[in-house]
Amino acid sequence: MAKSKKSTPQHSASASCPRPKGTLIIIGGHEQKDPQTVGDEVGSSADELAPESILKRFVAELHGDGPVLIVPTASAEPEDTARDYVRLFHDLGVKRVEVLNIRTRDEANDADRLRQLDDAAGLMFTGGDQLRLTATLGGTEMIRRLKERYAHSRIVIAGTSAGATAMSTPMIYQGRNDAGFLKDEIHITTGLQLMHDVAIDTHFVARGRIVRVAQIIATNPGCIGLGLEEDTAVVVTDGQEMEVIGNGMVVVVDGRQCQGNTIHEIQPGEVFSIRELRVHLLARGQRYTLPVQDQLHV
């Protein structure tokens, strides 16, 4: 199949800021249960399972014979969620699947759990509540070690729904699906920082979330908005080379050349304006180079 031309020019990496050797697979979630959900926590543990076709690509990207780690920290039902993923990966032929169920910050600094990560070929962040994930893992030795592995090894790191949203900086953690056009309706914080200057949102088309991403871009036009529909994912290599997989659409919102941005002029509760956003709609097989600047990923 012929590859489409990239939408942005490729940037060369400097010797002091090498591109990460790991691969990210960022998944837009599976199915919608409650369109009024504030965060991404929905329904039962099976509601947010990544589609099997996308998990097959995850398996195909693995290198070495290390285990796949399931990290259900974001989930309110971690045991059920982890059990479902263990079954799915076993069905896909993965021989070693382990659960890394971290519920406290002390556990995220535990030596035995860190050894699990050091041995892993891949890691899967499940869906749930992204704020639970970042509040538990942010600033811990687990995340420092994960970033180190992402930068220097061929580990594959995947996340679905909340697990995908948490990979970026900035990270959306609250905001109704029908909200976003009033200043301060959207709440953002620092994610796990595996991707810099990229704001990831999931269930993007099904839940009508483009306006809330536009507000994030308005607050920082140097950030790229990345909206993933359900049953859709992007595979990111070299820290910025993105390929769309799955059956839905990926929406890229680029505000670097925006004009008429009023977010800094209006009061909280007022409607903001922004003009000349560039929007790309990408389907399976499309490639896009994220215009991120060279920087250390550790």
- Which of 203, 229, 243, 297 does the annotation list as catalytic? 203
Residue 11 falls in the annotated catalytic set: no
Q: What angle do CA 102, 106, 110 make, to 5 degrees?
A: 75
Spot the catalytic one: 161, 196, 229, 297: 161
Q: Is 230 known to be catalytic?
A: yes
Q: At what angle do helices 111-119 and 141-152 cross, to 10 degrees?
A: 20
Residue of 41, 230, 243, 297 marked catalytic: 230
Contact status, residue 202 vs residue 177, Cβ threshold 8 Å: no
The residues carrying an active-site annotation are 161, 203, 230
